[in-house]
Structure 1
Amino acid sequence: MPGAGGDSGRLVQSVTTLIFNTRVKKTACFDHLVQANVRNKKLLKDAVQNITAKGITNYTKGFEFAFQQLSNTIVSRANCNKIIMLFTDGGEERAQAILEKYNADKKVRIFTFSVGQHNYDKRPIQWMACSNKGYFYEIPSIGAIRINTQEYLDVLGRPMVLADKQAKQVQWTNVYLDALELGLVITGTLPVFNKTKTKDDRNGEHQNQLILGVMGIDVSLNDIKKLTPRFTIGPNGYYFAIDPNGYVLLHPNLQPKNPKFQEPVTLDFLDAELENDIKVEIRKTMIDGETGERTINTLVKSQDERYIDRGVRTYTWAPVNGTDYSLALVLPKYSEHFLQARIGNDIQQAMASTWGKYSPSFMHCSVFARPFFIQTGDVSDRK
């Protein structure tokens, strides 16, 4: 029972799975819709493997529970697709009363799948799909699972094609390892629509409403890092970015040792750092696209990851316009100031009499400033 919500360019998918006969049971440990991230989907897939079919199917109880799950979604999003997928070997019940009660406005699409070879009447589940803006599919064998379970995307894509430019928003993938040795990359994608008009004797002229595919462009994380002022942050300061699922796009600890080409590199922000309650709150506000700043006491790992120390860090974050990412800057207290002096004024730099708020303006490079030392108040160049 998945649902996808789009809000201000942000795409957040939620999903859960249920099993029912005369009673409804959850397949995993979730009591509600959860984010469709890698971890949650693995838990749901593992739980589905343990399902055993038995008993008589009561569609009324199953659909009622599913509609309640969708109505209890914490965040109500505009322009979203709410769908219920029913996999069954057939039945005589239409569950018409419960569908009219919860889905009279047809805002929830229902897709039904007849699984396996059987002699049950398929017309009831066909009616469920066709009367609720969905579609009916047959899965006669294991080999047909992938083909038939992907065709529902054509139905979901029709409103997107009709919306045209309003639906063409760039969506960004998770971080993954590029097969052409570009390193870690993300991909920006846009849908490609087929809006040509065709004519036939039965329906006359009509416009196609199909998604042909997706076009995309890869962006290397190294190229993104080059755009950041990494030399002006100072020692032990860093920046990071996360996506709507809380996975980091940029972070000093995003260093996968054995990444696989087929799998995204998913590192949650709370796993990238030493977790505490305040960081959980920071993660939530960043996902919600808010701007904020917090100064906290936290545990800090050394760069060689051998030691842990306590320190004070200031987290400042804001959403990145035109994307679904949120960017943050983390600074220790001693990096919140910089010397206000001309590069040539060595005495003023040494005395550090004037301080300014924000971050150091020096570069960690010997090309920009020669080292010096102080002897009895005089500044001398060290050759």
Structure 2
Amino acid sequence: MLVRIFTYLIGGDRSPEIQNMACTNKGFYARITSHEDIKNKVFEYIKILARPMVLYQHDHPIHWTPVYVGGKSSRYDSQMEGQLMTSVTAPILDRRNHTTKTANLLGIVGTDVSVEEIQKLVPPYKLGVNGYSFIVDNNGRVLYHPDLRPLPGNANYEETLKPRYMSVDLSEVELAEYDGPAHPFNNSLLLDLRHDMIDQKEGETVFAVKIHYDNMKRVIIRKHNYFYKSIERTPFSLGLALPEGYGMYELLAEQEIKHSIINVTEYFKGNKWKIHPDWVYCEYNAGSEKWFSTPEERVLHFLTRTGRPGWKWMSLRPKSRSSQHKQASKPDKDSYYCDKTLVQSLVLDALVTDGFDKRGGNGMRKEDNQNPIAILMALLHSYSRKNR
């Protein structure tokens, strides 16, 4: 492996030996004689390291930080503090077609990314009630995981969590069943999983882990199937954990909105309905100026749009078409994402349960007996009312 040596002589006379050491090892030599020289000459190494990327037109290297606490979020406490974030940066190199190419570093571009936005890319409803996803970086540190969460109620938790949440390892949140040195099987498989994800390999494995319930008051042991794969052009790997036996069957229950006889918004009148707070049914691009006070208001807005001419389901996340030198155009700002399967399943739930509170007795009418889903939902509704 090539090692470059950069040498700096502070004050004193010239030193041919130190200069020769740097030049022989493809480094850089500088003599610092004043405070003004420190910044200018020390950072010369950046130009040296950037030179191959400029001369050979390589892609700009992209750097992602570990997770840290910052920004604003209402997810964790009432003070809107403690959103988990990661940052991505890349150098801007001078690639102009000069007669003599120079490796000039023009600057650094970067942005902060909310971990909540990254989690949206893996719809939790597709993983089942006990399945979950997680991401680790190339050091085995967790970007997000169900057991990676701040501690609400701590007045200074933004300061106390920042160093802690930059160094949580996968082996600290995935608790493999371990019965001591005589039975290290599960723990070894966990470490193998961690090692493969660090190396950004693709694969799958299965082993038993400890799962907690009721705010860690109860613990059970359950076998999980793990599937993992690297995320292209990032130091991260995505993992999926599914309890053993999951994935064999899928329940498909949707109401095609286009074929609905009446306007589907009729099923969502009043304020006696709620949607899952962590599921993304529909949303506009981050650059949109549209704002909604509740998730229910946003869903109702998109349900209204589905009845208009020209409606299209955008089940893939939109990519901005604007260049980095221009402000996003109006179509980019108004682009949206809408999960067709999830929204139409919600409409079916609303259709089947429509009017339950208005019906007497066991909540069923004679004509409902033809619909087995309606019978099941009515019985569940009747049972819940009796046990209130």
Shorter-chain-normalised TM-score: which range?
Answer: 0.5 to 0.7
- Does residue 279 of structure 1 match 2:190? yes
**Deviations 1:322-367, CA, capped at 9 Å, x for gaps:** 43321111011253343546469xxxxxxxxxxxxxxxx999x987
Q: How does 1:28-107 map to 2 (within 5 A)?
A: 107=2
Equivalent residue, structure 1, for 2:247: 336
| 8 A contact 1:259–1:265 mirrored in 2 | no
Letter in 2 for 1:210: N
Which of residues 10, 17, 21 in structure 2 aligns to 1:128?
21
**Residue 149 (structure 1) shift:** 4.6
Q: How does 1:124-163 map to 2 (within 5 A)?
A: 124-138=17-31, 149-163=42-56
Which of residues 292, 310, 319 in structure 1 aligns to 2:230?
319
Distance (Å, rounded) in 2 between the aligned partners of 1:142 and 1:301: 57
Distance (Å, rounded) in 1 between the aligned partners of 2:102 and 2:227: 47
**Residue 174 (structure 1) shift:** 2.3
| Structure with the higher helix share, 1 or 2 | 2
Which of residues 109, 127, 130 in structure 2 aligns to 1:215?
109
| 8 A contact 1:161–1:211 mirrored in 2 | no
Which of residues 59, 64, 70 in structure 2 aligns to 1:172?
64
- Does residue 250 of structure 1 match 2:150? no
| 8 A contact 2:71–2:85 mirrored in 1 | no
Structure 1 length-normalised TM: 0.54
| 8 A contact 1:189–1:214 mirrored in 2 | yes
Aligned with 1:224: secondary structure? helix
Which of residues 197, 202, 216 in structure 2 aligns to 1:291?
202
Distance (Å, rounded) in 1 between the aligned partners of 2:251 and 2:95: 59
| 8 A contact 1:235–1:335 mirrored in 2 | no
**Residue 161 (structure 1) shift:** 1.6
Distance (Å, rounded) in 1 between the aligned partners of 2:139 and 2:43: 23
Letter in 2 for 1:315: Y
Distance (Å, rounded) in 1 between the aligned partners of 2:31 and 2:147: 46
**Deviations 1:170-211, CA, capped at 9 Å, x for gaps:** 43332233457793222333321124577xxxxxx6332111
Distance (Å, rounded) in 2 between the aligned partners of 1:130 and 1:219: 41
For structure 2, the residue ranges without an aligned partner over 5 or more in a row are 74-81, 152-156, 177-186, 256-340, 357-361, 363-371, 383-388
Equivalent residue, structure 2, for 1:96: none
Q: CA distance change for structure 1 residues 172 and 137 in 2, over 3 Å: closer, same or farther?
A: same
CA RMSD of aligned residues (A): 4.0
Q: How many pairs were matched up?
A: 251
Q: CA distance change for structure 1 residues 318 and 274 in 2, over 3 Å: closer, same or farther?
A: same
**Residue 222 (structure 1) shift:** 1.3
Distance (Å, rounded) in 2 between the aligned partners of 1:316 and 1:229: 16
**Residue 313 (structure 1) shift:** 0.9
Distance (Å, rounded) in 2 between the aligned partners of 1:333 and 1:362: 24
Q: CA distance change for structure 1 residues 227 and 145 in 2, over 3 Å: closer, same or farther?
A: same
**Deviations 1:3-52, CA, capped at 9 Å, x for gaps:** xxxxxxxxxxxxxxxxxxxxxxxxxxxxxxxxxxxxxxxxxxxxxxxxxx
Distance (Å, rounded) in 2 between the aligned partners of 1:272 and 1:148: 45
Matched-pair identity in %: 30
Equivalent residue, structure 2, for 1:188: 88
Letter in 2 for 1:290: K
Equivalent residue, structure 2, for 1:46: none
**Residue 284 (structure 1) shift:** 1.1
| 8 A contact 1:114–1:138 mirrored in 2 | yes
Distance (Å, rounded) in 1 between the aligned partners of 2:50 and 2:61: 14
**Residue 129 (structure 1) shift:** 0.5
Equivalent residue, structure 2, for 1:239: 133
Letter in 1 for 2:8: F
Structure 2 length-normalised TM: 0.53
Distance (Å, rounded) in 1 between the aligned partners of 2:171 and 2:221: 17
**Residue 259 (structure 1) shift:** 4.1
Distance (Å, rounded) in 2 between the aligned partners of 1:143 and 1:254: 45
For structure 1, the residue ranges without an aligned partner over 5 or more in a row are 1-69, 71-106, 199-204, 345-360
- Does residue 224 of structure 1 match 2:129? no
**Residue 244 (structure 1) shift:** 1.3
Letter in 1 for 2:83: G
Say which is worse superposed, 271-280 or 251-260, in terms of deviation: 251-260
Distance (Å, rounded) in 2 between the aligned partners of 1:362 and 1:196: 48
| Structure with the higher strand share, 1 or 2 | 1
Distance (Å, rounded) in 2 between the aligned partners of 1:139 and 1:160: 27
